[in-house]
């Protein structure tokens, strides 16, 4: 049922990406800038069912040359987890040229920006359905494909080994020291992603549910699940029944 609903929502919403934003006419196999490719039929409140769904998004950036292998690996993960569905957009891609910024997601390499949408659960349940599949994909992206997390669209756990992901990290630290010598703009988030606050400080009961860690032991998981290896990417640690 979940997969049928996901297909129906996807097919309904996908049409918005195949319309010209000016003329409203359908375009076959469109290619272009995202802000010019979407024709919003859902401006009226309650017109489209997905507008009422609580949605979260995780996003990473990988070297565009490695995207085909990444897609093949994701297919293997999904195949290893029967009855796994992604709502709405599912997994979708944007593309960008290499940037000369210090900490940009496309710094130094042509990039595929990979986004995964998932619906949040209601009735007081904190973890999304099949969230462990997302976490296996996420950890594979980080550890096998040197992915760079989006600075705003992710939970705390994903920001691991951040200095190693950016060749110009030392240059950024030098600029930071010059422009903010008294650490006026330093905050707990920066202390986490820079490694000043170690990941071990977040390894507390229930931390996986809160998005603060990838589980290392059962106590980190939600009730009724245990900390296990990923079914395909076995270096991942996920909470499953």
The domain that holds 155 is classified in CATH as 3.30.70.2520
Both 164 and 234 in a single domain?
yes
Both 44 and 85 in a single domain?
no
Q: How confident is the model at residue 200 (pLDDT cuts 50, 70, 90)?
A: confident
32 pLDDT more than 80: no
Supply the pLDDT for residue 48. 66
Both 101 and 207 in a single domain?
yes
Interval 134-179: pLDDT, tens: 899 999 999 999 999 999 988 889 999 999 999 999 999 999 999 9
Both 107 and 3 in a single domain?
no
Both 47 and 90 in a single domain?
no
Distance CA 161, CA 175 (A): 20
Where b means 16+ CB within 10 Å and e means fewer, 84-99 reads bbbbbbbeeeeeeeee
The domain containing residue 31 runs over which residues? 1-52
Both 77 and 153 in a single domain?
yes
Both 86 and 168 in a single domain?
yes
Q: Is the pTM of this model over 0.85?
A: no
Where b means 16+ CB within 10 Å and e means fewer, 157-169 reads bbbbebeebbebb
Q: Biggest alpha carbon distance in the chain?
A: 56
Question: How many domains are there within the chain?
Answer: 2
Radius of gyration of the chain (CA): 19
Angle formed by the axes of helices 131-145 and 67-80, to 10°?
A: 150
Both 43 and 73 in a single domain?
no
| Closest C-alpha to 59, from 96, 29, 32 | 96
The answer to whether 89 and 115 have CB atoms below 8 angstroms apart is yes
Both 59 and 133 in a single domain?
yes
Interval 203-236: pLDDT, tens: 999 999 888 999 999 999 988 999 999 999 999 9
């Amino acid at each position: 049922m979940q997969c049928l609903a996901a297909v129906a929502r996807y097919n309904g919403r996908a049409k918005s990406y195949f319309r010209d934003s000016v003329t409203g006419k359908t375009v076959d196999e469109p290619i272009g800038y995202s802000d010019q490719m979407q024709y919003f039929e859902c401006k009226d409140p309650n017109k489209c069912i997905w507008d009422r769904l609580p949605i979260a998004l995780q996003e990473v950036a990988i070297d565009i040359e490695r995207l085909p292998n990444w897609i093949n690996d994701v297919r293997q993960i999904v195949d290893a987890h029967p009855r796994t569905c992604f709502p709405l957009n599912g997994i979708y891609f944007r593309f960008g040229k290499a940037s000369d910024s210090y900490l940009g997601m496309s710094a130094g390499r042509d990039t595929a920006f990979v986004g995964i949408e998932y619906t949040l659960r209601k009735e007081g349940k904190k973890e999304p359905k099949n969230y462990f599949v997302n976490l296996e994909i996420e950890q594979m992206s980080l550890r096998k494909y040197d992915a760079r997390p989006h600075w705003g669209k992710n939970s705390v756990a994903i920001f691991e080994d951040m200095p190693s992901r950016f060749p110009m990290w030392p240059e950024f630290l030098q600029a930071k020291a010059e422009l903010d010598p008294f650490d006026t703009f330093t905050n707990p988030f920066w202390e986490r992603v820079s490694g000043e606050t170690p990941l071990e400080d977040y390894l507390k009961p229930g931390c996986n549910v809160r998005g603060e860690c990838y589980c290392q032991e059962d106590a980190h998981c939600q009730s009724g699940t245990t900390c296990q290896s990923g079914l395909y990417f076995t270096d991942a640690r996920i909470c499953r029944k």
